[in-house]
Amino acid sequence: NAMTGYAVIVTKSTVPVGTNRQVAEVVRKTRPDIEFDVASNPEFLREGAAIDDFMRPDRVVVGTTSEKAEAVMGEIYRPLFLREFPILYTDLETAEMIKYAANAFLATKITFINEIARLCEKTGADIKQVSRGMGLDGRIGNKFLHAGPGYGGSCFPKDTAALARIGQDYSCPMEIVETVIKVNDDIKRRMIEKVVDLCGGSVNGKTIAIYGVTFKPNTDDMREAPALTIVPALVGGGAKIRVVDPQGKREGEALLPGVSWMDDAYAAAEKADCVVILTEWNEFRALDLQKIAATMETARMADLRNIYSEKDVRKAGFADYVAVGR
């Protein structure tokens, strides 16, 4: 009802393919008197780097079949276009699909390297060097090839699930994406086994320091974080959990009952039986490992982000160390 003349209605959200066409139908029924166009303009912004990503995008995608709407959107993005960032004009369905396909591909890339990491553990290969060897191939690239405890966050879980559902709705199963979702869940659960094995087969009565619970560093976002699978399982196994995370407490307090929140990584490790690195915050990349090992009950580390080397950890006095794919 706010429209008084020609307007372009822009959808920024990631929406199921066909949504923008439905929006156009609804508006046309509601306001047959007004000329308008609908455009799909999906966002490609990373949490913790949104302003930078907006100002320096890899690409801007605009879905519309109207030249008039194209001109309006071109004018809006002119400051970016002048800086030679590509603007891709497509129809509505293509723009909607690009966003899902891009996120599902990145989720697949992460899950692929996590599955290779598991095979590396069995064969004695080192996933860090495998990732480097793969990433130096220009066709593959080195991004999203870091083995870890599985993907989480607001986008990848939601968008892979949505793409799988869209495939079902159109009787065109997205079998690779469906497998990625399943394997990612398995990977998170496998991390629990790593910690339990490190603690001698049981965590009952053990004190465990968890470094980082958000799905990635530089955000307080806990959505679908691997910690939400791993930490409750350890609590359920009888462990006393101390959590250190620069921003995780705000959301994590309600989501992770039965844990103690601490501000200091060194205090959390005192008299602990094991430390687990779950999120690769910068604060955890340069710890005084010797100082930590010296105060622990049993110096054991599960480095689930591969930020240290086994050599350095053992040299610092840790008796046991486990990583991912090494």
- The H or E element spanning position 275 is strand 274-277
pLDDT in tens, 123-165: 999 999 999 999 999 999 999 999 999 999 989 999 999 999 9
Report how far residue 92's alpha carbon sits from residue 84's, in angstroms, rounded to the nearest whole number: 23
Sequence-separated (6 or more) residues with CB below 8 Å from residue 127: 113, 116, 117, 120, 147, 306, 324, 325, 326
Report how far residue 283's alpha carbon sits from residue 265's, in angstroms, rounded to the nearest whole number: 9
Confidence (pLDDT) at 84: 78
pLDDT in tens, 72-122: 999 999 887 667 788 999 999 999 999 999 999 999 999 999 999 999 999
Q: What is the DSSP string of 80-138?
A: HHTTT--EEEE-HHHHHHHHHHHHHHHHHHHHHHHHHHHHHHHHT--HHHHHHHHHTST
Backbone angles phi, psi at 220, to 5 degrees: -100, 10
Confidence (pLDDT) at 81: 67
Which domains does the chain possess? Answer: 7-90 (3.40.50.720), 97-182 (1.10.1040.10), 185-322 (3.40.50.720)
Please state, rounded to an integer, the average pLDDT across all residues of the chain. Answer: 96
Residue type at position 260 = S
Strands, sheet with 259-261, edge to edge from the N-terminal-most edge strand: 259-261, 240-244, 207-211, 274-277, 300-303, 320-322
pLDDT in tens, 258-283: 999 999 999 999 999 999 999 999 99
pTM of full prediction above 0.85: yes
Q: Which is nearest to 192 in space by CA: 157, 237, 244? A: 237
Confidence (pLDDT) at 255: 97
Strands, sheet with 36-40, edge to edge from the N-terminal-most edge strand: 7-11, 36-40, 60-63, 87-90
Confidence (pLDDT) at 82: 67
Confidence (pLDDT) at 79: 83
pLDDT in tens, 38-54: 999 999 998 889 999 89
Confidence (pLDDT) at 44: 93
Q: What is the DSSP string of 127-181?
A: HHHHHHHHHTSTTT-STT----S---SSSHHHHHHHHHHHHHHTT---HHHHHHH
- The H or E element spanning position 199 is none
Report how far residue 124's alpha carbon sits from residue 112's, in angstroms, rounded to the nearest whole number: 18
Show which residues are catalytic: 155
Report how far residue 196's alpha carbon sits from residue 7's, in angstroms, rounded to the nearest whole number: 59
Per the structure block, which two tokens stand in for 246?
Answer: 């620069």
Task: Report the pLDDT averaged over residues 166-180.
Answer: 97
Confidence (pLDDT) at 35: 95
